[in-house]
Amino acid sequence: MKDDFELRQRMVSEQIERRGVRSLRVLAAMRAVQRHCFVLPDQQPYAYEDRPLPIGFGQTISQPYIVALMSELAELELQDTVLEIGTGSGYQAAVLALLARQVHSVERYPDLAERARCTLQEEKIGNVSVHVADGSLGWPEAAPYQAILVTAAAPAVPEPLQQQLAEGGRLIIPVGGRGGQELQSWRKQEGCMILGRVLGVAFVPLRGQYGWAEGEFI
């Protein structure tokens, strides 16, 4: 896409820095990942706008600011292993891949997972493993994780995710229903979960065993 570099610089300064995201590593990752490559071809003209976009299957790629904010709240270091629930387009996973050693991302729709794998490969991002499974159960095979990001709205914090979080780890998750959710930032401290920070958000529902049942996202 023509001038995408300039559009990304503007996206970061106007939508993300201006709203208070300070981490230089997160800002650099947001400048580096080509968001337009993760959206559907007909959505590319809007790739750098301040809003979520449809990615098929009734799902959306999150607003850039929310991706940056969740990445900052994860407080990642280069040696960390991070789990994302809800791969969607693979964009959030790509941002996390620049901030951590290894990303595991779980998606329930095989077609979305496959498309995300292809995009990540085309973008030469090699440290993301995309798994097709019920992510409300986490991904125990690679636990514990220094950070877990849930990019779909949960009725409550799923128990398996608490268990798979490393001591000192951060769990970032929108909790609530269709009317709105709060973004919660939890930290595991001496085995206890401490609630950090709160902000109003609007995500699509988390399904699965610890998610919302079909028709129950209210």
Residues serving a catalytic function are: 62
The nearer residue to ligand SAH, 51 or 189, going by C-beta atoms, is 51
- Residue 216 neighbours by CB under 8 Å, 6+ apart: none
Give the 3-state secondary structure of residue 148.
strand
- Smallest gap from Cβ 175 to ligand SAH, in A, equals 14
CA 177 to chain centre: 18
The nearer residue to ligand SAH, 51 or 168, going by C-beta atoms, is 51
- Smallest gap from Cβ 160 to ligand SAH, in A, equals 11
Q: For binding to ligand SAH (CB under 6 A), which residues are involved?
A: 59-62, 85-86, 88-89, 91-92, 106-109, 112, 134-136, 151-152, 204, 206-208, 211
DSSP 51: S
- Smallest gap from Cβ 47 to ligand SAH, in A, equals 12
CA angle 91, 92, 97 (to 5 degrees): 95
The nearer residue to ligand SAH, 27 or 96, going by C-beta atoms, is 96
Considering only CA atoms, which of 99, 97, 98, 117 is closest in space to residue 107?
117
- Residue 61 backbone zone (phi > 0: left; psi -120 to 50: alpha; other: beta): beta
